[in-house]
């Protein structure tokens, strides 16, 4: 490979990127837009669940239980005078997701040391929120039951009963349980995949559509020089997006970066290079930009979003889907991002993920070079 021919391709592609200001602006705007949308709009935190209360008892005991729900940040009581018909209408209109029903004999049963019952109605169409809301409500009711028992024991001069097990939870790495600390690092992999695979997948196909590939065929340029020239131009753009994502993540959303910046940079460069090679490979297979764009969307963006562990837990997926996820580099890059950002772990624990990114980049680069060779030979 001669540097002169490589630099000529690199300069040509760089000039094309700069002149096509719409694509350049889009490539720089997509990371900012995704980070702002996901950072502010998307949240995995389940709190302020809209709820209603149907209090048939209306005693101090029932009001005390309701106060526990009102004082919790997990529930937002919108209706304190609900009935069964109004609860059904509100759930059907998606105004509430949960309802607490207190029967008439609740207070009397509590005072008589009986086992009082309450009903919790949940909107099962949102199964995840319903399951979490059920856990929150059960915890609040358990707390209320403990307080009632302790008050009764105190009235009779009996000391409080100590629980046989005292659970003390220690939350590591994300003590405040902020979902943005989990989302923003994983989103970086999606951003790099979009910029890399989606943009470079159009580059060779665009050459064929514009008729400039015939001009390249008449030059002494070699496949490796054409490949490296195009890759390096988009590599610079991809690293600029990486820096932009880091600035927004650290400066705007205050995501902690506890690990090595060097390790993060090396992993990002390997992942970006492999994604660029995959985009070039798609571009050599597809002769039109429309087909290349659809292939890139299907094979790069969607897997990095769905099968990387970025949003959806891989442990909850079927066995065959988990095995397929091992093919895609985004799975390993997301693990590195979360390890470096949140856990602060180093190469001694992440070297297998880094090794896979390296192997993937080398293999895809070799295949892309081989596929490109017959087209310009």
Nearest to 134 by CA among 172, 97, 85: 97
Q: Note the pLDDT of residue 100.
A: 92
Tokens of 208: 């064929």
User: How far, CA to CA in Å, does 92 sit from each of 87, 101, 129, 241?
Assistant: 9, 17, 16, 44
Tokens of 103: 């029967």
Q: Note the pLDDT of residue 44.
A: 65
- Please list, in sequence order, all residues whose beta carbon lies within 8 angstroms of the beta carbon of residue 218, skipping any fewer than 6 positions away: none
Q: Note the pLDDT of residue 87.
A: 92
Q: Note the pLDDT of residue 156.
A: 66
What contacts 24+ positions apart, CB below 8 Å, involve 220-225? Answer: 220/5, 221/5, 221/8, 221/9, 221/376, 222/1, 222/5, 222/376, 223/369, 223/372, 223/373, 223/376, 223/377, 224/1, 224/369, 225/1, 225/2, 225/5, 225/6, 225/9
Burial (CB < 10 A; 0-12, 13-18, 19+), residue 285, is middle
The residues spanned by each domain of the chain are 3-42+178-376, 49-155
pTM: 0.76
Q: Note the pLDDT of residue 217.
A: 61
Tokens of 199: 């943009």
Q: Note the pLDDT of residue 186.
A: 83
Cross-strand pairs, 216: none
Q: Note the pLDDT of residue 152.
A: 73
For the chain, first and last CA: distance in Å? 15
Q: Note the pLDDT of residue 264.
A: 92
Q: Note the pLDDT of residue 336.
A: 92
User: What's the rounded Cα separation, in Å, for the pair 278 and 220?
Assistant: 25
Quickly tell me which residue has 């209360």 as its tokens. 53
> What does CATH list as the number for 49-155?
3.40.1710.10
Q: Note the pLDDT of residue 208.
A: 67
**Sign of the four-CA dihedral 223, 225, 226, 231:** positive
Q: Note the pLDDT of residue 373.
A: 62
Which pLDDT tens digit goes with each residue over 216-236? 666 777 777 777 887 888 888
Q: Note the pLDDT of residue 375.
A: 52
User: What's the rounded Cα separation, in Å, for the pair 369 and 224?
Assistant: 6
- Kindly give the parts of the chain with pLDDT less than 50: none
């Amino acid at each position: 490979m001669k540097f002169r021919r490589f630099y000529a391709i690199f300069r040509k592609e760089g000039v094309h990127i700069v002149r096509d200001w719409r694509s350049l602006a889009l490539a720089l705007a997509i990371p900012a837009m995704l980070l702002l949308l996901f950072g502010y709009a998307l949240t995995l935190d389940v709190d302020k669940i809209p709820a209603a209360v149907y209090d048939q008892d209306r005693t101090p005991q029932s009001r005390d239980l309701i106060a526990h729900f009102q004082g919790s940040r997990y529930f937002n009581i919108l209706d304190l005078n609900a009935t069964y018909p109004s609860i059904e209408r509100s759930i059907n209109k998606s105004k509430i997701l949960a309802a607490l029903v207190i029967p008439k004999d609740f207070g009397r049963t509590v005072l008589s040391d009986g086992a009082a019952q309450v009903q919790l109605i949940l909107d099962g169409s949102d199964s995840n929120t319903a399951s979490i809301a059920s856990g929150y409500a059960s915890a609040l009711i358990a707390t209320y039951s403990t307080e009632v028992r302790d008050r009764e024991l105190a009235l009779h001069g009996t000391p409080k009963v100590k629980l046989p097990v005292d659970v003390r939870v220690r939350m590591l790495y994300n003590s405040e349980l902020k979902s943005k600390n989990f989302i923003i690092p994983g989103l970086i992999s999606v951003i790099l995949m979009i910029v890399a695979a989606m943009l470079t997948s159009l580059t060779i196909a665009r050459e064929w559509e514009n008729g400039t590939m015939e001009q390249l065929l008449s030059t002494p340029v070699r496949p490796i020089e054409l490949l490296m020239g195009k890759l390096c131009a988009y590599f610079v753009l991809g690293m600029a997006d990486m820096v932009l994502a880091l600035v927004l993540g650290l400066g705007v959303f205050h995501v902690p970066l506890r690990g090595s910046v060097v390790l993060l940079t090396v992993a990002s460069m390997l992942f970006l290079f492999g994604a660029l090679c995959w985009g070039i490979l798609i571009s050599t297979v597809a002769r039109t930009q429309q087909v290349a764009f659809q292939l890139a969307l299907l094979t790069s963006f969607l897997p990095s979003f769905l099968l990387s562990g970025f949003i959806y837990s891989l442990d909850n997926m079927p066995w065959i889907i988990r095995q397929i996820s091992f093919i895609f580099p985004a799975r390993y890059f997301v693990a590195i991002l979360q390890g470096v950002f949140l856990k602060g772990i180093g190469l001694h624990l992440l070297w297998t993920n880094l090794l896979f990114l390296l192997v993937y980049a080398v293999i895809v680069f070799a295949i892309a070079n081989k596929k490109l060779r017959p087209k310009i030979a």
